[in-house]
Structure 1
Amino acid sequence: MAITGRSKDIYQEVTDAVIEQMEKGVLVWHCGWKESGLPSNVTTGICYRGWNVFWLNFHTMVKSYPTPQYLTFKQALDLGGNIRKGEKGVKIIYWATIHTKSGINESQLADDDENKANRQRLVPKVYTVFNIAQAEGIIFFEPDMNGSSKAEKHVACEALIDQMPKRPEIRLNGQYPVYYPVRDLVSVPPISSFSSAEEYYAALFHELAHSTGHELRLGRKEITESAGYGSEPYSCEELTAELTATFLCALTGIGQQTIENSAAYLQGWLSALKNDKTLLVKAAGQAQKAADYIRNIKDEAA
């Protein structure tokens, strides 16, 4: 995706905010998820997507808000309430659809496109939202706070894996978690080799996330055109898989515990993010698509 003008500032704002936390030893996407569900908009009831899911979950946790439900200042007014004076909102990214007229580089268009003069593309824009706890004068329904049992969570994990379309072969006798693109094979150690069932499922989710990049599924170039360790495509793919696993762990109610926030690990991601300010948003977008694919659902509204 080409980025110009304001878009560059958006990518930088998001990246700078995450880097600030990482320099404190915090990985935003590893922070604990609320039992009350994924971050959603109070007015529409729609869950946020992409990077917004991780960022609003982190914001909810840091501020100790009861629920990860958000709305804009205007939405609060429309509901007959207001945002309390002095409250500060949090910025999220909204992907707006714009139409591009003639003059676009023809090489960027598909050969079989009948309308090369008028195309749609997505452009990132920033919106400010507030947690419902920052509002006043609004009556809303709180989500059910009753968490699932450990057994129910594990059943949910198995059900999620079972519903993945075109699922790769999964072997449960490996020495370590790995995905082999050429063989389209996921291999993980048996569940008894992990310190907890949660770690086992998180590792399996990570490798299944890699498998979504196979040409039989989403055809992600980071998998189909594999690059070497430490390269930018490698970093993007690893971050995509990690965010996908975190997202799926949140959906099934388990915690992601596969990787510790070691100094070396954090430093590696800091270096990658500083070298490419689009990496985080791009990987989060790919992770959303990967999670949707594994869940066997089509793209939802952003």
Structure 2
Amino acid sequence: MATTAQSTTQSNTFVDTYQEVTDAVIKALEEGTVIWQCPWNQVGLPKNITTNVNYRGWNLFLLNFHAMIKGYPTPYYITYKQANQLKGSIKKGEKGIRIIYWATVELKNQQEDTNPQPATESAAKPRTIMVPKAYTVFNIAQTEGIEFPHFEVKERSEAEKIEACENVIASMPNKPTIRKNGTNAYYQPSTDIVVVPSLKRSKSNEAFYSTLFHELAHSTGHESRLNRRELLNADGFGSAAYAKEELTAEMTAAFLGAISGIGQATFDNSAAYIDNWLSALKNDKTLVIKAAAQAQRAAEYIMQVTYEPA
């Protein structure tokens, strides 16, 4: 049986990571910046330069934001060890940014069963949970002694962007009914219907498709798709489940917009909007990381493919 000290140490391992991320988001919000609404780098989505693998979940938004505020030309990153393996180094005085990975941790406070049963293969396995842990990466602009290829800005015509958006929508399996003639935008789980105003009534192509992506994101939570608890059990505006579902939809829409190359539409960054998120984050330190993970699943459900940046 684990001691109290062991249990406390294990708990702090991932609670502190949640808090670290939440504190960074709160700081940005208090300065008027909504990290998940930041414009996407035109070179591509954040990725590890040595593995050529895109970052996922919250890391995607954080590193895009980091590259933007630091003025780095690309959102491509590397670890200290990877830089050394490439016979280079991190420039003196440079500071990295901490991102997360999900680790499998065996529960330490498992108690012996008071009514032991015959051992089975599943029963013999220790119980585990997935927890976020942090590590540090550096933008490739912070390195020296490494020659990286030149990366071109990826530009699309307006017609190509619209085609890309339509392809994302067409790729979604088991789609809800989509009506493009509404007076406002919403998803109705009971009838599995997405309603958005027509393209002609929208302020821009970006606004129309961002809105549609947002409502389609909600629809992925339907019991016939990802069966997301926050959508099915939301208690209305102001509830924890509502906040998490809305953040999931916002991040999914932003992600699909990056894939399609439409950029970000004009969002409401009013004081009331930001205050709402500050309140939600201060009440739930796990909100950002968990919502970002759900957004990743929602986007990949809609696209049915492993993503490639636009």
Same fold (TM over 0.5): yes
Deviations 1:75-94 (A, max 9, x none): 10011100000000001001
Aligned to 1:130, the other structure's residue is in SS state: strand
Amino acid paired to 1:60: A
Aligned partner of 2:91 in structure 1 is 84
Corresponding position: 1:205 with 2:213: yes
Distance 2:151 2:121 in 1: 46
Aligned partner of 1:218 in structure 2 is 226
Distance 1:299 1:99 in 2: 31
Deviation, structure 1 residue 4: 1.4
| Residue of structure 2 aligned with 1:72, choices 64, 79, 102 | 79
Distance 2:204 2:112 in 1: 52
Aligned partner of 2:116 in structure 1 is none
Corresponding position: 1:138 with 2:146: yes
Distance 2:218 2:195 in 1: 12
Corresponding position: 1:151 with 2:155: no
Distance 1:87 1:104, change over 3 A: farther
Which sections of structure 1, spanning at least 5 residues, go unmatched? 107-112
Aligned partner of 1:54 in structure 2 is 61
Deviations 1:23-69 (A, max 9, x none): 01110111111111100001100000000000000000001101000
Aligned partner of 1:32 in structure 2 is 39
Aligned partner of 1:283 in structure 2 is 291
Corresponding position: 1:63 with 2:70: yes
Question: What TM-score do you get using the length of structure 1 for normalisation?
Answer: 0.92
Aligned partner of 2:304 in structure 1 is 296
Corresponding position: 1:238 with 2:246: yes
Aligned partner of 1:22 in structure 2 is 29
Q: Which moved more, 1:291-300 or 1:157-166?
A: 291-300
Corresponding position: 1:273 with 2:281: yes
Distance 1:58 1:93 in 2: 15
Corresponding position: 1:263 with 2:271: yes
Deviation, structure 1 residue 258: 5.0
Distance 2:248 2:112 in 1: 29
Distance 1:261 1:105, change over 3 A: farther
Aligned to 1:138, the other structure's residue is in SS state: coil
Q: Which moved more, 1:96-105 or 1:221-230?
A: 96-105
Amino acid paired to 1:78: Q
Distance 2:15 2:34 in 1: 23
Distance 1:98 1:297, change over 3 A: farther
Deviation, structure 1 residue 99: 4.5
Conserved 8 A contact 1:206-1:244: yes
Conserved 8 A contact 2:189-2:219: yes
Aligned to 2:154, the other structure's residue is in SS state: coil
Aligned partner of 1:187 in structure 2 is 195
Q: CA RMSD in A?
A: 2.0
Deviation, structure 1 residue 96: 1.7
Deviation, structure 1 residue 104: 6.8
Aligned partner of 1:109 in structure 2 is none
Q: Which moved more, 1:245-254 or 1:93-102?
A: 93-102
Which sections of structure 2, spanning at least 5 residues, go unmatched? 1-9, 114-119
Distance 2:181 2:204 in 1: 16
Conserved 8 A contact 2:220-2:301: yes
Question: What TM-score do you get using the length of structure 2 for normalisation?
Answer: 0.89
Amino acid paired to 1:193: R
Distance 2:109 2:93 in 1: 46
Q: How many residues align?
A: 292
Aligned partner of 1:110 in structure 2 is none
Larger radius of gyration: 2
Deviation, structure 1 residue 299: 9.8
Deviations 1:162-213 (A, max 9, x none): 0001111100111111000000100001001111011000000000000000
Deviations 1:233-272 (A, max 9, x none): 0000001000111111111111222522011100000010
